Structure formats: structure tokens, C-alpha cells
A and B are shown apart, each in its own frame.
Chain A
Amino acid sequence: AQSVSQHNHHVILSEAASLELGCNYSYGGTVNLFWYVQYPGQHLQLLLKYFSGDPLVKGIKGFEAEFIKSKFSFNLRKPSVQWSDTAEYFCAVTGAAGNKLTFGGGTRVLVKP
């Protein structure tokens, strides 16, 4: 069975700081990888996704993620966060042939103004 782990449950940082959220997955095959964001009181939104090709994926709102196959990782980064990036971030994975998402535990990010 596939699984996803996110290393940090809570992250607190100041505006303009850099953000990196770790995500590792366990799956015996080709995967599609996703990062979702859930702003307070809002529904899940897709930040970015990786299906194939360039392992460095750029998403919305200045976020990017790098797929490192050898490390089974798909870490999310943003060079300079804003207060509006305060949200919960979820890493998720599907098998290449399927569309059932398995989510990580989520990371709550608080950006102090």
C-alpha cells in the first residue's frame, strides 16, 4: 500500500523567510505527485503536480517542488513567504495508472507578519 509522510507538522516563520516542506512517499511503482494547500476556512486547492518530465515543478503563487526519485521525495519550496501563505499544506500521491489520492498528514504553516 502506498503511504505519504510529511516531516513537519507545524512550521512557524516570518515573512520573507524561505520555506521548505518535506514529503516522502512509499510506493512500488511509477507515481504522480501533488501538493495541495488549504487556506483557513477554504477548500483544498492544487498548488502543483508532477506526472513526468522535468523533476523541478513550478506551481502557483511562487511555489515549486522537486521530485527526487532516488529519495522518494517531493519537497515543496518557496524562496520568500508572505503572511497570506499561512495555510495547511498536503502532499499527496497516486499511482500512475490510478487516481486515488493518498495524502500525507499535512503541515500547518504560520507566517508571522
Chain B
Amino acid sequence: GAVVSQHPSWVICKSGTSVKIECRSLDFQATTMFWYRQFPKQSLMLMATSNEGSKATYEQGVEKDKFLINHASLTLSTLTVTSAHPEDSSFYICSATPGLGYEQYFGPGTRLTVT
């Protein structure tokens, strides 16, 4: 089956620093990747949609200058949390899909803790 990986699985960083999270589709080409945020005991909230080779589309309320998304290839998307603050601590999950009409395949998530 389709596999999506994320790296790192968890990261701790100091307030004010930047953190990069990678999302890779291992056995298929992902024309579209999605980034979600999941707070404890809550549901997933879509942050942005990224299509390979184009700028990401951010959901309302998500700061595009803070959460930089790059989808440079059909198998890799990155999310960079810039100038991280404790309130950015969360579980970040990516998903990838081969295209419209196909299901999304989810990565295992990255737990970010900002101290």
C-alpha cells in the first residue's frame, strides 16, 4: 500500500528557532500534499494544501509567513515553523495523494514541543 513518512517523528526546540518537518511519499508520486495540525484530544485541522511546483494554499487563519511550505518534488513536501513559540507546540500531520479522486495517505505525524 501507499506509504507516507514524516521526519522527524518528534522534535523539541527553543522559542525563537525554526524547525523543518519533512513529508515523503515513499512509493507513489504525490501531486498534492496536505498539512494538518492536531491539538491534544482534538481533531485534525487543515493548515495548507500544496501542489508540486506551485505555492501552497493556506487555510484561513494560518500564517503563511510562519508556516512555510515547500513542495519541490512529487515525493517531498516540507513544513518549516519559523520563529517557533510555545503555542506552536502541536502534532503536525501530513498527507499525500496521487491526485483528485484518490484517497489521502497519512504520515505518522511529528510532535513539536517548543520550550
Contacts and interface: CB of A to CB of B under 8 A. Distances in A.
Interface of A: 34, 36, 42-46, 49, 51, 90, 97-106
Nearest to B100: A99
B34 A106 contact: no
A58 to B, nearest CB: 16
Contacts of A49: 103
Contact of B43 (A42, A46, A97, A103): A103
Nearest to A94: B104
B104 A99 contact: yes
Given A99-B32, A100-B34, A105 B106 contact: no
Contacts of B108: 42-43
Interface residues of B, number: 21
A102 B46 contact: yes
13 contacts: A36-B106, A43-B4, A43-B107, A44-B44, A44-B106, A90-B43, A97-B100, A98-B100, A100-B34, A100-B49, A103-B44, A103-B45, A105-B42
Contacts of A44: 44, 93, 95, 106
Most chain B CB within a 10 A radius of its CB, from A90, A98, A99, A105: A99
Interface in B83-112: 93, 95, 97, 100-104, 106-109
Contacts of A34: 103
Interface of B: 4, 32, 34, 42-46, 49, 93, 95, 97, 100-104, 106-109
A43 B103 contact: no
B46 A99 contact: no
Q: Identify the interface centre among B42, B49, B104: most chain A CB within 10 Å of its CB.
A: B104
Nearest to B99: A99
A74 B107 CA distance: 25
A43 B93 contact: yes
